Amino acid sequence: MTRPYYLLGGLMALSAIPILVALVRLGQIPLAMLPPEAMRFSAVPAAHFAHALGGVVFGLIGPVQFSNALRRRFGQTHRVLGRVFVAAGLGIALSALRLLWQFPDVVTWPLTLTRLLVALGLGFALIWAVRAAWRGARAQHRAWMIRAYALGMGAATQALVMLPIAAFTGAALNGALADNIFIAAWVFNLCVGEWVIRRRA
């Protein structure tokens, strides 16, 4: 097995949990069968559904788009999937802003502020990636796509950290510790993304 397949498999494994959770949400939302901790989202079902659908598409397409083999052998497929990836990412960003507008006081202000910055940053990164692609600046396009993917996959890193802790303690995390883990996951993802960008450069 070559290195690109290791990368693809690793990214898919990392995003598996949030993708599965989002898939479950896609079934629960139309049936009004949300669990108690998510019942508040029934006030904005369209935004909640768009966020879950965007997360599934973003998580599935993202790893494939970073495959050099796909880009070189199937350039048209790469471009089509790229447009879908951007649409899904913008859907995540816009629906996140809508959810934040509806529920600004559910969590502490540092996490709310971080979510706002992440949503805006994701949208900005995707727009800049498209702009770079139009100009033919491939290195810049790839760099902004990596940043967008890093922000969009914050939930994957959060699950990777929080689920083992919850399994060990027997209870879901909440409060300041959970908020700090959420924030740290996005910061960590961005740092890894920047490391990948500079390493390739």
Q: What pLDDT tens digit does each residue of the chain (201 aa) get? A: 445 566 677 778 888 888 998 999 999 999 888 888 788 888 899 999 999 999 999 999 988 888 777 777 877 888 999 999 999 999 999 999 999 999 877 778 899 999 999 999 999 999 999 999 999 899 999 999 999 999 999 988 988 888 888 778 776 667 788 889 999 999 999 999 999 999 876
The Cα-based distances of 171 to 6, 91, 118 in angstroms read 33, 32, 27
Q: Where are the domains of the chain?
A: 3-200
Distance between CA atoms of residues 79 and 63, nearest Å: 14
